[in-house]
Structure formats: C-alpha cells, structure tokens
Amino acid sequence: MILLSLLLLGASLLQTPVRPGSSPQAANPDPDMARPIAAQETVFLEEMTWLEVRDAMRAGKRTVIVATGGVEMNGPYLALGKHNYILRATTEAIARKLGDALIAPIVPFVPEGDISPPSGHMRYPGTVSVRPDTFKALLADIAESMRTHGFEHVIFIADSGGNVAGMKEVAADLSAKWGARPTIHYIAEYYDYPGLSKWLERQGIREVDEGIHDDYGITSIMMTVDPALVRMKERMAAGKFSINGVPLAPAERTIEMGRKAADWRATVTVEAIRKALGAAGR
C-alpha cells in the first residue's frame, strides 16, 4: 500500500500541469457562445476577436478585401513598408464605402526580384522577396481560408506592380475552381498611380522628376498614417521636406491632401468592385 501510494505520488509529480488558457475547453470554445463585451469599431480582421468577426458576418459583412503591398527599396525618406502603410489608409476607406466589407491582414511578402543572385529591389538592404509560386500559394491559402469562414466575395487588390500578375492568375484559378460562390475578383482599377498623378494635377499639385522612388501622392497618403514613416522631422531639420519640387509643409495641408487622395482611390475602386459584383450576379 505504501509502495502504491509512492508510485501514484511520483506519477502526479511527473505530470505537466495544464497552462491556463491551453485546456481543451479554452482551445475549443462553443462557436455560438455569446460575445461577452461590446464589439470594437474596426474593419481590420487582425484587430478583431473571432466573436467580433462572426457577428459582423452575421450582420451582413460578407465581402473580404485581400490586399498585397511589399517590403522594398523606396526613396531615401520612405519606410520599406510603404505599400503596406498606403494600403492601411486606402483599404479602410474602401471597406467603409462598401459598407459590407472587412479587410484581411495586408500581405507584405511579395515578389521583389530574384533572391540569389539578387535582382530588382533585392539589390538593396531590407527588401524581402518571395518567389512567384510562393506568392501565389500564399494568396490561394488566404482566399481559401476566407471561403471556409463563409465570405461570399473575395476582392484582390495590389498596390505594387510586381503583385499584379500573380493576383490575376490566382483569382482566375480559384474562380474556375469555386464556380459561382464565393466570387473572387482581381480589381485592376485600384492600381493606377498614373491616374492618381493626374488627379493630383487637377488639385494643383505639379511635380518634376527628382529621380527617386517616391512621389507626392505616395508621401501624402503615408503621412495620413504616420508622418514619421516619411521622416518628416528629420527632413525638416535637413531642409529636405519636399518631394519632386512640391513643398510638404505645412504638414497638415499635405495630410489633408493625402486623405483626399486615399478617398479618390477608394471611390474608383469601390465603383469597380460594385461593377464586378454586379456582373457576377451578386
């Protein structure tokens, strides 16, 4: 009896205690459980709890935006994640205008050139590139995930030219695979930086080429997210707070123009999305 007790005691000491939050009950909550608190006001999936996403979808938000940016060489004043930060502004404006959309996590890993030997943007430190097949596989898995969760429309948009071909191909492949539902669309109208430049000209912004990977439209939209992303303070101290011959001070004016630019891009994109969904018999 004493020996048995000692054996049982030893076995209990060897057992790994369950870490709080990792029990079977914690890892498998009831999918229909009540949400215990009010929902936060956001359209970004990664900022939402699963309960908030569930309830937003039940309330009619059945369109999801899958946007691709990049981590690449830019002008000497811009953060490498330029495209991702621009999408932070534009995708929110798009989702708000649509009214029934949420935004999947912005994809930062895109083709930026050959990795070895390096080509394109990969010649510059900090750039992250993925092979085209990796990019397409990632997009397909993201879209399939959204389909599993019950989204009725998957919208692809690209903020960088190297992303376009892969997104078009995956959208076409999945559309053929899925059939009528859910619908999946690559929206070409979003990626129109020449159009943005023309719109800015109509607002009185006229640029001259300074030979750097940057422009007023990009800088102004980034400043709506955070002026530090374009190194505002450092440029002001160095007397370089301008781009392509256009002054960026006062910052408030540039930020306001950035908001208008993001809104213009969103309006164009929303019109194209609604046209695509209408053609698909939404």
The pLDDT assigned to 3 comes to 52
CATH of the domain at 123: 3.40.50.10310
The pLDDT assigned to 246 comes to 98
The pLDDT assigned to 279 comes to 79
Helix, strand, coil percentages for the chain (3-state, nearest 5): 55, 10, 35
The pLDDT assigned to 172 comes to 98
Instruction: Confirm if 199 and 168 have CB atoms less than 8 A apart.
Output: no
Q: What are phi and psi of 183, to 5 degrees?
A: -85, 150
Domain total of the chain: 1
The pLDDT assigned to 21 comes to 84
The Cα–Cα gap between 239 and 135 comes to: 40
Residue 49 structural domain: 39-279
Residue 242 lies in a domain: yes
The pLDDT assigned to 201 comes to 98
User: What radius of gyration, in Å, describes the C-alpha atoms of the chain?
Assistant: 24
Residue 25 lies in a domain: no
Element (H, E) at 89: helix 82-98
Residue 234 lies in a domain: yes
Mean pLDDT by 10 residues, the chain (282 residues): 51 64 89 96 98 98 98 98 98 98 98 97 98 98 98 98 98 96 97 97 97 97 98 98 98 98 98 92 65
Closest alpha carbon to 147 in 177, 169, 190, 108: 177
Residue 52 lies in a domain: yes
Residue 32 lies in a domain: no
The pLDDT assigned to 96 comes to 98
The Cα–Cα gap between 25 and 17 comes to: 15
Residue 158 lies in a domain: yes
Q: Give me the residues paired with residue 246 across strands.
A: 243
Global confidence as pTM: 0.92
The torsion region of residue 206 among left (phi > 0), alpha (psi -120 to 50) and beta comes to beta
The pLDDT assigned to 9 comes to 47
The pLDDT assigned to 15 comes to 61
